[in-house]
Amino acid sequence: MYKTSEQHEVFRRKIREFAESEVKPIAFMLDKESKFPKEAIEKLGEMGVLGTPYPKKYGGIGLDVLSYAIAVEELSRVDGGTGVILSAHVSLGTYPIAAYGTEEQKQKYMIPMAKGEKLGAFGLTEQNAGSDAGGTETTAVLDGDYYILNGAKIFITNADEADVYVVFAVTTPDIGVRGISAFIIEKGWEGFTFGEHYEKLGIRSSATAELIFNDVKVPKENLLGKEGQGFKIAMATLDGGRIGIASQALGIAQGAYESALEYSKERIQFGQPICQQQSISFKLADMATKLAAARLLIYSAAELKENHEPYAKEAAMAKMYASDICLEVVNDALQIFGGSGYLKGMDVERAYRDAKICTIYEGTNEIQRVVIASHIIGRMPKSNIPVAKKKGAETGVRKKMILKEGTAEERVTKLVEALKADNYDFTVGIDINTPISKAERVVSVGKGIGAQENMELAKALAIQAGAALGSSRPVAETLRYLPLNRYVGMSGQKFNGNLYIACGISGAGQHLKGIKDATTIVAINTNANAAIFKNADYGIVGDILEIMPLLTAALDNGEPKTEAPPMKKMKKSPPPKVVPTWKRYVCNGCGYEYDPAIGDEDSEVLPETLFEAIPEEWICPDCGEEKDKFIEA
Ligand code: CAA
C-alpha cells in the first residue's frame, strides 16, 4: 500500500492553503471570463512550486515527482485550469530541457523556468498530427547558424502566456519519426506569432492557442538533444506529463466529491440528509473508492519516475484511469447536487466541464490503451503506407498556383484569366446574403480586413464576383462585422459550392475544415507562408486592401450581374502525382528497388529508413548483391 510521507502532507497543506485562499475565490470569475490567473501563477513561482521536482542547482526546490503530483492535484481541486498551467509548465515545458538540455540550455532556460520567472509550454500537436504525433509537418531547415522554422502547432496549453516553448519539427523529411527534432523557441522571436485563444468547454482559466511559425530563425544551439531525437524526447516527456494530467483529473474529481459529500449532509429530503439514503451513500462510497484507486496509481507512477525506474506504462494507466473515473465522479457529484449543481457558479458545474479534457489531451485515453497494450503485448505491426501518401493539405489536393511576382495588377489579371479558364462566369451572380451552405460562390474575409469600414471593399468584391459574403470566425464572433451565421468553418457554416475567395484569412484548421469541399479556393494574404496558400488552388500574395479593389474592377463587366442559374457543382482538378522526395536506389544486379517506406524486415531495416542510413553490410534481399552495387535511379 502506498503511504505519503509527513513531508508530502506538509507540502500538500501548503498548496491547499494557497489554492483555497488565492485561487478558489476567483475560480468562477476566471472561468466566466476565460482569464489566465497571472498573479496566482506568479505567486506559485515565488513559492518555488513551478520548480517543485527540479534540483536547487537548477532553480528548483528539490522535491520529488510525487510532491509535484500533489501540487497539481491540490490546485485542480479548486480549479482544473490552474492545475494544467502548472502541469504543462513543469512536465512539458521544463522537463525536456532538464532531461535533454545542454548545460548552457539549462543555465539559460531551465533555471528561470524552475524559479518561476519564465513560463514554459510544449508544441507537438498539429492539424494533421494529433494522436499520430509522428505525422508532424512543421519544418526546420538548417541554414548556416540557424534553423528556419515554418508551420503551426494547435491546441497549445499556456500559449501565449508562456515565454519558452519546446517545439517539434521535421529536420529530415520523408523518413518518419526519426526525422523529427526538438527545439527551444522564445516568445518574441520574429515570425513567431499566436492564433486567437480557443473558446473552450472547460479549463477556461488556462490559455490555449495556436503557435504560428513563419520563417522563424532558431539559433543552432537551440536544438534540444540531437537531430532526429525529437520524437523520442516528445514521447518521454509525455510519459511524465501524463502523471501531471492524471493528478489534474484526480484533483478535479476530489474537489467535486468533497462538495457533493458536504452538500449531501446538508440537503434534507424525505426527512433526512440525502447522504443517509442508500442511493446517495452508495454513490459516495463508489466515488471515494475510485478516487483512492486513482491516487494509488498516480503516486506509485510518480515514485517509479522519481526512482528512475520504467514508468511509461504506469503513467499511462494512471492518466487513463484517473481521467476515466474523473468523468464518473463529477457526473455523480452533479447528480447529488440535483438542479442546484446545474447552475453557473457552482463548483460542480465547472468541474463537470473541466473534467472532460483529461480524457483527451496529453494522449487520448485510446492512445493510453495503445501505450499500455504495447507494454503488455509489444508494439503493433505498422501498415506499409508510404509516408508521402499520408501527407496532404487540410482541403485535399489543390493546384497551389500562388502569384507572388509582378505588379498587383498583373497578379490580379493572371488570377482572373485562370478562373475564367476554369469556366467561372462573372456575368452572373447570387445575392450576397445567400446562406453560405447554399451559395455557389463566397467571398470571405478574415482578420486581415482591419477596420470595419473595409468591409465595404469585401462587399463590392462579393457583388462583382457574383458571390455571397462570409467571414472567418473571429470576424463574426470577436469583431462582429457579420452575423454569426455567416462565418465559415468547422463550428460555423460549411461551404459546399464552387468558388471560395478567402481574403486576409490565415487558414486556421477549423476554417479549412469548413471549406474543404469547395471546388476552387482562392487566397489573398500578405503572408506568403500563411496556411491558406497550402490549401488554395490560386493565391495572390499581397495586401487585401490593395488587391480587393483591383480584383473587383477586373471582375466588373460593366453591367449588373444577371441571376445565376441553379448551382451545378464543378469537379476539382485531378490530383498531381505524389513524387517521393527521397533518392531512389535500384540493385544493379536484379533491378530490385529499395523502398524507404517499407524498409527490409528480413534484414531488420525498419520502415522509414533511408537507403543512405542502411548498414553497409546490408545486401539486396532479392539477389544478394552488395549495398555499394546499388545505383541511384
Ligand atoms: N519514450 C521514448 N521513446 C519512445 C516512447 C517513449 N515513451 N514511445 C515510443 N518511443 C520511440 C520508440 O521506441 C520508437 O523508436 P525506435 O523505432 O527507435 O524503436 C519511436 O519512438 C516510434 O515509436 P512508435 O513506433 O511506437 O511510434 P508511433 O508513431 O506508433 O506512435 C504513439 C506511438 C504512442 C501513438 C504516439 O504517437 C503518441 O503518444 N501519441 C499521442 C500524442 C500525445 O500524447 N499528444 C499529446 C500532446 S501534448 C498535450 O496534449 C498537452 C496539453 O495540452 C496539456
Q: How far is ligand 1, taken at its centre, from the CA of residue 232, in Å?
A: 7
| 266 domain-assigned | yes
| 580 domain-assigned | no
Q: Whose CA is nearest to atom 18 of ligand 1?
A: 178
Are 593 and 559 within one domain?
no
For range 605-609, the mean pLDDT? 80
Dist CA 117 CA 111 (whole Å): 9
CB 368 within 8 A of CB 272: no
Q: Whose CA is nearest to atom 44 of ligand 1?
A: 363
* CATH number of the domain encompassing residue 175: 2.40.110.10
Largest alpha-carbon pair distance within the chain?
92
453 as an active site residue: the answer is: no
Residues 6+ apart with CB under 8 A from 65: 53, 240, 243, 302, 303, 305, 306
Are 360 and 448 within one domain?
no
Question: Is any atom of ligand 1 closer than 6 Å to the C-beta of 238?
Answer: yes
Are 102 and 125 within one domain?
no
* CATH number of the domain encompassing residue 31: 1.10.540.10
Q: Provide the pLDDT confidence category of residue 580 given band limits of 50, 70 and 90.
A: low
Are 435 and 557 within one domain?
yes
Q: Which pLDDT score is estimated for 30?
A: 98
Residue 214 has pLDDT above 50, yes or no: yes
Mean model confidence pLDDT for the chain: 94
Q: How far is ligand 1, taken at its centre, from the CA of residue 289, in Å?
A: 31
Percent of the chain with pLDDT over 90: 85
Are 307 and 372 within one domain?
yes
pLDDT tens digits for range 29-51: 999 999 999 999 999 999 999 99
Decide which of 115, 141, 162 is a domain's last residue.
Answer: 115
Q: Which pLDDT score is estimated for 582?
A: 78
Are 214 and 284 within one domain?
no
Q: Which pLDDT score is estimated for 574?
A: 63
Q: Provide the pLDDT confidence category of residue 576 given band limits of 50, 70 and 90.
A: low
| 395 domain-assigned | no
Omega into 622 within 30° of 0, i.e. cis? no
| 574 domain-assigned | no
pLDDT tens digits for range 498-514: 999 999 999 888 899 99
Dist CA 235 CA 245 (whole Å): 15
Dist CA 577 CA 572 (whole Å): 15
pLDDT tens digits for range 246-287: 999 999 999 999 999 999 999 999 999 999 999 999 999 999
| 91 domain-assigned | yes
In 27-132, DSSP assigns E strands to 120-123
Are 277 and 293 within one domain?
yes
| 551 domain-assigned | yes
Are 557 and 411 within one domain?
yes
pLDDT tens digits for range 168-196: 999 999 899 999 999 999 999 999 999 98
Residues 6+ apart with CB under 8 A from 357: 80, 84, 200, 201, 202, 203
Are 20 and 67 within one domain?
yes
pLDDT tens digits for range 294-346: 999 999 999 999 999 999 999 999 999 999 999 999 999 999 999 999 999 99
Question: Is any atom of ligand 1 closer than 6 Å to the C-beta of 585?
Answer: no
Are 428 and 556 within one domain?
yes
Decide which of 62, 86, 115 is a domain's last residue.
Answer: 115
| 383 domain-assigned | no
Q: Which pLDDT score is estimated for 85?
A: 98
CB 252 within 8 A of CB 76: yes
Phi, psi values for residue 483, rounded to 5°: -65, 155
Residue 461 has pLDDT above 80, yes or no: yes
CB 187 within 8 A of CB 141: no
Specify the range with the lowest mean pLDDT, choosing from 51-65, 375-389, 434-448, 490-504.
375-389
* CATH number of the domain encompassing residue 488: 3.40.50.1220
In total, how many domains does the chain have?
A: 5
| 579 domain-assigned | no
Are 18 and 44 within one domain?
yes
Q: Provide the pLDDT confidence category of residue 389 given band limits of 50, 70 and 90.
A: very low
Residue 386 has pLDDT above 60, yes or no: no
Q: Which pLDDT score is estimated for 384?
A: 60
* CATH number of the domain encompassing residue 309: 1.20.140.10
Structural domain span for residue 623: 585-632
Are 200 and 94 within one domain?
no
Q: Which pLDDT score is estimated for 390?
A: 45
Question: Is any atom of ligand 1 closer than 6 Å to the C-beta of 383?
Answer: no
Question: Is any atom of ligand 1 closer than 6 Å to the C-beta of 180?
Answer: no
Specify the range with the lowest mean pLDDT, choosing from 77-86, 228-237, 298-307, 391-400.
391-400
Decide which of 232, 259, 281 is a domain's last residue.
Answer: 232
pTM (whole model) above 0.85: no
